[in-house]
Chains A and B, each alone.
Chain A
């Protein structure tokens, strides 16, 4: 009886010791933070215009890279039926590197003349050196004046 109690105690202590020994390497599970300064939500653009894209990215340790993803945000089929042949759902992707604890993404993107009008999602992805990832989205409107006439 006493022996078993002692054994149990030993067993439990072993577990506790295992549990308490902490890792030597510093682990980073904090995601980078992204603030899209430009464009703002609901901002409108005309086809052919130049879009300014500006985002501030910060991280607790070290930033690594970003990706910009712009794509059409309409839900598809209704738009497809209306679409002129020479209009396309515009899409844009680019990646780049970031460094330090704080960095900025600054881009000028030309909106093509034949871009389909409607809502567009703009996504700014960022990853840090440890592989933590975050994404921030903003939705803008692209107008095609020809449709208004």
Chain B
């Protein structure tokens, strides 16, 4: 099997048993560190040709295993207000309209005359770029200027098309960067999405619009508790989902019982192995070291695609 021997830099196509589909499969988990990236990148490697979108923009890691050649880079910006003081009459409509306290008006003038000493303060890191202030300004004194919050890079690893986003350190809002990564989604081919951990807005933005979401968990009470929350999120999004247990072995039973009680498909188990952990620690994708892991991931992907096609 090509992936068993190939170097990560030159991954060869190997559809070995996996049919090509034009599906969008998201890989997510409530808990961090359960193996989302290992599974998502593993899927990409065993198919050999697909699109991989790393949407964990706070801590993007897929590139560390796939070693793609990045050929293009684009800035992710949010439009933030810039106030023209000549036109502004300090009525304060912008501050009233802004729900995020990103713009404040000091020394408001009730009559709409330009009061001396008054000023408008903008707090760019609070701004969601919604444009409400611009719409609310009666003097058309607001112009929106782009402010960079992150970057999206794309390239290739063999026949795998790779895109990831990176949120600037210190920036609170990940969703615009996730959205910019998702803009590269190519619905004509199999796409794998690696989502951030958690259950909040960046995860929702990443998995939204997929055909199916695979939830990676581990057989501990932490894994189960966070899986339960992740399943609730998918329910709210009406997104069909299934479960894979990573580091399987001791403690699987509780996860199995949970899946059964929720009518969730358990799509596979990746056995616990120190060799997997060590390969990962060396920066090698474990499928290159353990061919049986590659076969295991192939089976999980096959089942996942079957479920996705049936919309289960």
Whether A associates with B in a native complex is no
Enumerate chain B interface residues (CB-CB to A < 8 A).
none
Enumerate chain A interface residues (CB-CB to B < 8 A).
none
